[in-house]
Amino acid sequence: MTQVTRENVAQVIDFLEENKERGGDVSLTDVMHLAEVMSGSMHDFLATVQPAVTEELTAIAREISNMKSDIAQLRANDMTASKIPDAGRELDAIVQATETATNTIMECAEEIMCADTSDAEAYQALVSDKMISVFEACTFQDITGQRISKVVSTLNYIDERVTAFIERLRIPEGLDAELEESDADRRKRELILHGPQHAGEGVSQNDIDGLMNGGQAEIDALFD
């Protein structure tokens, strides 16, 4: 039987030496690299065993190589280093812009409400001036619309790559690991925090009024 060569063993030792200081911090890429080194070191040995086994191992090596390519296609570093932080900054800017515009509009409304109406001409001038400020403040909508489009593009970018990655790896539905409930999730569940609902999803003010006025019997009936 053909022996594993000294050079082959040296390659494996080099790999282990390079990574021994990492305290178990091994990535998927490292594992695949080790698999490549191992399979390369066993090349001569594998050539002597049964062709069927060789074929299987070659297929495994090809799959590993393809997976490396798929991971590269995912562009995970680009997502975490650039795309997702950029989207976060866009959302922050949207919050800031809407808050600024809301404050401007409310200041205008408050000044009009508190204005002296005894001088009709001065009052009219003030109202006209404040209305112009309101229109100006409303220009935020155009800019936030563009920012939201950029965030949607990022979500589509991530969705396309993750979907393609799942398809290439042929990950079946239902294989998802159970998610462990975080402290934040537990707080949301215990304090019934759902956040705003989309149109048609939550209950309307009329429905709420019905629940509030219906008494305990009506509420209890919902649980029957």
Partner 1 sequence: MALDLQMPVLVVDDYKTMIRIIRNLLKQLGFEDIDDAADGTEALEKMKQRRYGLVISDWNMEPMTGYELLKQVRADSGLSKTPFIMVTAESKTENVIAAKKAGVNNYIVKPFNAQTLKGKIEAVFSD
Q: Which residues bind partner 1 (CB under 8 A)?
A: 99, 102-103, 106, 109-110, 113, 191-197, 201-205, 207-208, 211-212, 216, 219, 222
Least Å distance, CB 209 to partner 1, is 8
Least Å distance, CB 148 to partner 1, is 19
Give φ, ψ of 121 to 5 degrees: -65, -45
**Which residues in 3-21 are b (16+ Cβ under 10 Å) and which e?**
eeeeebeeebeebeeeeee
Is residue 94 within 8 Å of 143, Cβ to Cβ?
no
Least Å distance, CB 90 to partner 1, is 20
Find where tokens 């019997």 sit.
Answer: 217
Q: CB count, 10 Å around CB of 201?
A: 8
Nearer to partner 1, 30 or 111 (CB): 111
Nearer to partner 1, 61 or 108 (CB): 108
Nearer to partner 1, 179 or 192 (CB): 192
Nearer to partner 1, 81 or 219 (CB): 219
Return d(Cα 54, Cα 56) in angstroms, integer.
5
- How does DSSP assign 116-133, residue by residue? --SSHHHHHHHHHHHHHH
Least Å distance, CB 211 to partner 1, is 5
Nearer to partner 1, 67 or 126 (CB): 126
Least Å distance, CB 205 to partner 1, is 5
* Closest by CA position to 72, among listed 26, 16, 25, 28: 28
